[in-house]
Each structure stands twice: as C-alpha cells, then as structure tokens.
Structure 1
C-alpha cells in the first residue's frame, strides 16, 4: 500500500507540473503574439484534458499502478509534440520540456521504462528537427539567424544539430545517471525499512524475554509447592484407584517438564551464547519429539528421516524449543480442522545442513496469522523466526499443494565435527 501512496503522490506532482507548464506556455504565447493559433489552441485544450484526467486519477480513490503512472507520462506525447510542431518546431525554447517526462520516468520508474522514455524523447526531438526545424517560419528565439543572409541559415542548421546532440546527451545522461541514483535511493530505503523491521522485532523479543524471565521467577515457588503436594499424594496412592494413580503419575511428569523448562531458561540466561556439545542429529530429533509428546499427549504425527544416524552436530538449546513451538502450532492448526490429520514431519540432514518440514492439515495460509488459528497468541512465529535467524537459519511458510494445510520449513546450517576440529 505504501508503494501505491507514493505513486499517487507522484501523479499529483505530475498533474501540477503539467498545469504549470501549460499555464506558462499560454502566458508567454499571449505576451509575445497576443493570441494562439487555431492548431496550437487545439493541442493546448488536449493538454488540459490530459491534466484533468491525471488529476482525477490522482484523487487516490483507486490504486494507481506503476504501469498506469507510466501511461500518464506518455500522455504528454499526445499534445506536446504537435503543439511544438505548430508553434516554432525544434526552434521553440519550450522544446526543453521534452526532458521533463523523461526526468520523472528516470526518477520513479524501473530502468527499462526510463530507457524507453529516453528513446521516445530522442525520437520526438529528432522528428521535430527533421520535419519542423522552425527556420523558414521564423518562430522561436533563434529566428533572427535566418534574417540577414543565406549563410546564416546554414549556421542556424548547424546550431540546431548542436542542440540535437546536446539534447540526446542530456536524455541519455538522465536515463542512465538519474535512474541509477534513484534506484540506489530506493534500495537504501528498502534496506532501512528492513533494518527498522528487524530492530522492532528485536525490541519485541527483548520485551518478551524480560517478561518470560519475570514469569519464570514467579512460577518457581508455586511449581515447587505443586511438586510437593504431588509427592505427598503419591505417598498415599495405595488408597487411590488405578485411574487416579495414573493421573498422579502424569501430573508428576508434567511438573518435572515444567521444572526442566525453568532450568533450561536459567541455564540459557547464564550462558546466552550457548555451550552445547556435539550430539547426534537423529538423537536430537528423537529427544525433541519425546519431549513434545510429554507436553502434548494428544499429539499424533508421522516421521520421515533421511540422514546418517552417526552424523553429529552442535545443536543449540533454542533449536529444540523452536521445533516444539512449531510442532505445537501445527498440532493446534490440525486439531482445529474438520477432519484432523497427524502432523507430518520430513527431516533431512547432511554434513552441513539440516532441513525440517512440518506439515499440518489446518486452514492453510488463507488467514493473516496462521499461527493463531486455534486461539494462539501469535508470538510463537516471531520468536521462532528470530531464534533461527540468530543461528543463521530461516523459517518459511508455504501452502500444501494437494491438500489444505501449511508447511513450515526450518533450514539451518550445521556445525559438525570437522568444523569443530578446525
């Protein structure tokens, strides 16, 4: 939408510039000749019509595309060349306005359109030079060159050729240099916008991390109390039925998982850079899935693995949590579907690369926030992307091809044994 607003703003500027140029032409013509010829008046009216059309489209009620804006630039060629032809030809000082649409195109359009506008401008000026030089008619600021004697007419033609060479050089310079500068500025703006987005994401992650640390500190005491109560109940479990004993065992497992999560959080706070040892990739995947199943007993999944069972790599703690977060999102999306299907995992790794595809059977990417389909908070995806970016990896979301659902793809470079030795 930001691009559309910029184009509309440029169209408004073009409309104002065209209105100023027409007003200046009419004012100068009336000052020099007290009237406009009939042919010139027709094309002045045509110029006014194009100005009104551009002004109407610049109201912003309907989006204006880049190609349409280029079409508005081309509208100047409907009235400007014939107006010059019938009012002095190439000798008319107003001929320099031919460079204005080119300059705007070079500053706002891609390189192809800038060079296309340059070619059109040079062709129009060349046509005016050949068919409407303005020598015999005596129009324009250079008319005095042909009033003395015949040799001065030849000098005037040489002067026009010099003007043509200057115009051509100016057009090529504008199309090349100005367009390159404009593209460099647009690239810088895109880079700055990306940096601002990354900084905003870092600030959000920092605030979430601060909140998580405070919450972990507050949860430690209640969790310890719950653990003691569960242990006391288990000491009296001979008085309970088997279903109650099973529930107590499950409750103890969940309490232990919560304690492990808090210990990992503390360990990560003490060692932000991480000091993970080399471990088997296959064992890491298996351990992560086991932990996920303990956290989500209702989880159903299928797993395909491709890679050596002996392959070892340095896998940070944040990767396990990131994987579990994405699995939770996929499971929530699948459970929210009309016909829930197991979460499909496809894990492929080599010596220096790990790729994990997690496919759910949810509604897909039709919603703006696919991570919040089942009432999620929508922050898991931000945290996962940030964590993977810090590890040199990335997370991408794509729609499944043949069935509804979303595929989350984790790609991460691996630090293996050989690199550790180096």
Structure 2
C-alpha cells in the first residue's frame, strides 16, 4: 500500500464519516423543527424546510452508493459533500430568520470539518463559502412570525435555541473528533506497518544479492572438487578399498547436492532459466515438493495428506517451493520423530498446515513471528527461514499464522490465494 492508496482509503473513510454525521444532522433537524413548531409554538415554513431535508436525504443516499462503489474517492468529492451541507444549512436558515437564528453557529462545525478533512486550499474555499452565506443571510432571509410574545419571551426562546444548537454541535463534534482520532491511529499503524515492511523487504533484497554472489563464488570451487573426485575414482587406492570407494560416492552425492543448491539460488534469482516458473497443478506441485524434500532429508516420519480437490493448474517457481521446504525444515529441526503436512482447499485459497511434535514456539517468537533473526536457536542466521516464508506469502497476498497445538508441538498455517498462483477456477 503506497501513499496514494492510503490517501484514497482516508478519503473513503472521511466520506463514510460525513454520511454518518449527515444522518445525525437530518434527525437533529427534524427533532429541532418539531420542538420549535409544536412545543414552542413558533410557526415555521414546514413545506420548504422538509423539502430541504428531503434533498439532503437524497444526497446522502447517493453518497452511500458512491461509498459502496469500488472506485477511488478523490478529495474534491469530500469537498462537494461539505458544500452540500453548507447549502442545505443556508437554506434552512433562510427559511427561519436568517443570521438571527441561533443555529447559524453550526457554520463553525462545517469549517472545523473542512479544516480536518480537506487540504488547505479546499478548506479555505469552504470557509469563504460559509462566511459569504453568513453575510448574505444578514440581508436576505424569511423573517420568523413570532406572535404575541414580549421581548423577554423572545430572548428566552433565542437562548433556548442557542442551547439546542450548542448541544447539537457539541454532540456532533464529539462523535466526529472521536472518529477522527480513531482513524488517525489506524493511519499511523498502517504507516508503521509500511515502514516495517520496507525495512524487511530491503533486508530480503540484500540477502538475495548476498546469496546470488555467494552462489557465483561457490560455482568454481565446486566444479574443481567435482573434477578432483572424478579423478580419484580412477585411483587404485579407491578401486581396491570398498569402504574408501563408498565414502567417495557419499562425497560425490553431497557435492552434487551442494551444486543443486547453488543452481537453485541462481535459478530463483532468474539467472539460470527465464523467470524460473513451471506450469503444474496444485496437487502435483505439493507432491513433488514434499517428495523431493523427503528424498533429501529422509525424516524419521512424515505424515503427508494432500486433500486439495478439485485440482487446478498453477504456475510455480523456486520461491514457492522454498516456502514448503522451509516449513518442513523448521519442523524437522524442532521435532523428535514425527512431522506432518496437510493441504486442503478453502474456497478460493490453498491452505497448508505443517505440524511437529517438538517443544513448540516460544511466546517471544510468536509475538514477533515473521521478523528476521527471531529464533531461540543459538546459531548465526537462525530465524531467516520463517522470515522468508512470511515475505513470500505476503507478496502473494496470503497469510501465515503460527501457534502451539494443545497437545504440544508447533503449528504453522498458510493461506495462499489461488489467483496469485495463476490458477483459473
């Protein structure tokens, strides 16, 4: 999520807030009109005032439809909504005494909303509009007909109107400012998350460059060792000694494994083969990844349950396979004799659950799960496996969660959107 996306999200939230405040204002105006007309016996032009309220309701319904649409919301749209509120208030004041109406101070509420929700330019335009409306209402308005009331009674009604205006304005400000404070906290949390992700992604890039450079450097000595081992196979000492010949074969197998790992690093960086992607299926990808890892690591017991149905075509790459193998590696290191991997389909997502019967995650690790070098293993580089898993899954738009099973052992759950894997339902 970049800065533009955050701004658009803030505009959407601001529009939702204005919609909520506008409904409160409509109800407040209805109640105020009823109190003034029925209880205070002040005649009001009900048809005109109710027509303004009806227009305000229609505008708010249109705003609700706009808010529900998926299109981005720009700042001028929020400004237009506030201008509509100013116009509606101006018309209501025109019909009920103009600037002498105690509710004229609600213009200040519009100014405050504009100052908080809009940039300086639009807020200045809104403030100028309210000032012009105030000036015009001093000269152009429909006077209220207050019959048979002496001056003291009129002053009392004015004071009561000011009190109602104060209560309405204070209530709306309380709701508005509380919501704004909540939105600001959410905004700060999103920015903090963006900064954290930027740091982590930079860390991943640096690790990738380091790994690719190391793979290049290791290529030459590994090739040299391979040539030397092939020469040793022709020596009499290895031909005659069966044990030495077996150890030489073991060395050769381990050397080939090192070469495969180096090739995998180069492949994942795009240097060995195009983009390093392979067309396969979900079940085929998981079966191959698990079987390859089982052949390399030979775990004491691996319970594998692939229940993903119906199968779908996807595009896999080395990074995706490393997600699975890293989880299995981590589980094998923690487990004493048994690990399990299960896969299932959850609507439009692939779910993968890896369990072990080890001691489980430390609470401190769970609290910072997915961050680099967060591990209880006392060796250099610990914690990078799960960190890389979390980064790849997040890039694909998925989620990864870690926890401890009630009966003991750790549980890691992945959810990957099938669309991000190139699947076509």
Instruction: Supply the distance in 2 between the matched residues of 1:418 and 1:313 (Cα, whole angstroms).
Output: 5
Match of 1:348 in 2: 344
For 1:155 and 1:351, the matched residues in 2 are separated by 68
| 2:414 aligned partner | 410
Per the TM alignment, residue 417 of structure 1 is displaced from its structure 2 partner at its CA by 11
SS at match of 2:277: coil
Instruction: After superposition, give the CA deviation of every residue in 1:113-157 in whole Å (9 maximum; x if it has no partner).
Output: xxxxxxxxxxxxxxxxxxxxxxxxxxxxxxxxxxxxxx6664554
| 1:381 alignment partner in structure 2 | 386
Q: Give distance in 2, aligned partners of 1:391 and 1:234.
A: 47
Cα 1:284–1:215 shift into 2, 3 Å: same
Deviation at 1:386, TM superposition (A): 1.0
Question: What is the alpha-carbon root mean square deviation over aligned residues?
Answer: 3.4
Shift of 1:359: 0.4
Could you tell me which residue of structure 1 aligns to residue 102 of structure 2? none
Distance 2:388 2:291 in 1: 22
1:218 corresponds in structure 2 to 217
Asked if structure 1 preserves the Cα contact closer than 8 Å seen for 2:396 and 2:420, the reply is no
Q: Secondary structure at the match of 2:360?
A: coil
Counterpart of 1:364 in structure 2 is 360
Residue 406 of structure 1: how far off its partner (Å)? 1.3
Structure 1 residue 162: deviation in Å?
2.6
| CA deviation map 1:10-31 (0-9, x unaligned) | xxxxxxxxxxxxxxxxxxxxxx
Report the secondary structure of 2:249's partner residue: helix
Aligned partners of 1:294 and 1:252: how far apart in 2?
A: 16
Instruction: Please name the residue that 1:317 is paired with.
Output: 318
Matches of 2:409 and 2:281 in 1, distance apart? 31
CA contact (8 A) 1:363 1:404 kept: yes
Distance 1:315 1:345 in 2: 18
Question: What is the CA–CA distance in structure 1 between the aligned matches of 2:222 and 2:422, rounded to whole Å?
Answer: 42
User: What does residue 37 of structure 2 align with?
Assistant: none
1:171 matched to 2:170? The reply is yes
Deviation (angstroms), 1:329: 0.9
Match of 2:194 in 1: 195
**Are the counterparts in 2 of residues 333 and 374 from structure 1 also a CA contact under 8 Å?**
no
1:5-404 matches, within 5 Å, as 154=153, 157-236=156-235, 237-242=238-243, 244-270=244-270, 274-298=275-299, 300-307=301-308, 311-334=312-335, 340-349=336-345, 353-369=349-365, 372-375=375-378, 377-401=382-406, 403-404=407-408
How many aligned positions are there? 267
Q: Is the Cα contact below 8 Å between 2:360 and 2:409 reproduced in 1?
A: yes
Contact 1:278–1:417 (8 Å) recurs in 2? no
Partners of 2:285 and 2:246 in 1: CA distance: 28
Q: Residue 310 and residue 396 in structure 1: after superposition, are their counterparts in 2 closer, same or farther (change >3 A)?
A: closer
Q: Deviations over 1:235-277 (max 9, x none)?
A: 44332234x4444333322221221222222233336983523
Task: Decide whether the 8 Å contact of 1:276 with 1:314 is kept in 2.
Answer: yes
Aligned to 2:45: none
CA 264–415 in structure 1, closer or farther in 2 if over 3 Å, else same:
farther
SS for the counterpart of 1:369 is: helix
- Distance (whole Å) between structure 2 residues aligned to residue 214 and residue 248 of structure 1: 29
Q: Which runs of 5+ in 1 are unaligned?
A: 1-102, 108-150, 335-339
Could you list the runs of 5+ residues in structure 2 that have no partner in the other structure?
Answer: 1-111, 117-149, 367-373
Q: If the length of structure 2 is used for normalisation, what is the TM-score? A: 0.55
SS at match of 1:211: helix
- 8 Å contact kept, 1:278–1:313: yes
Change (3 A) 1:273 1:357: farther
Change (3 A) 1:352 1:225: farther
Cα separation, 1, equivalents of 2:168 and 2:198: 44
CA deviations on 1:65-107 (whole Å, 9 max, x unpaired) are: xxxxxxxxxxxxxxxxxxxxxxxxxxxxxxxxxxxxxx9xxx9
Question: Which residue matches 1:61?
Answer: none
Summarize deviations over 1:254-308 as a string: whole Å, max 9, x none. Answer: 2212212222222333369835232243333233223323443455311112135
1:311 shift after superposition: 4.5
Contact residue 299 and residue 332 of structure 2 kept, 8 A: no
Task: Tell me the residue number matched to 1:111.
Answer: none
User: Is the 8 Å Cα contact of residues 314 and 422 (structure 2) preserved in structure 1?
Assistant: no
- CA gap 1:240/1:409 in 2 versus in 1, 3 angstroms: farther
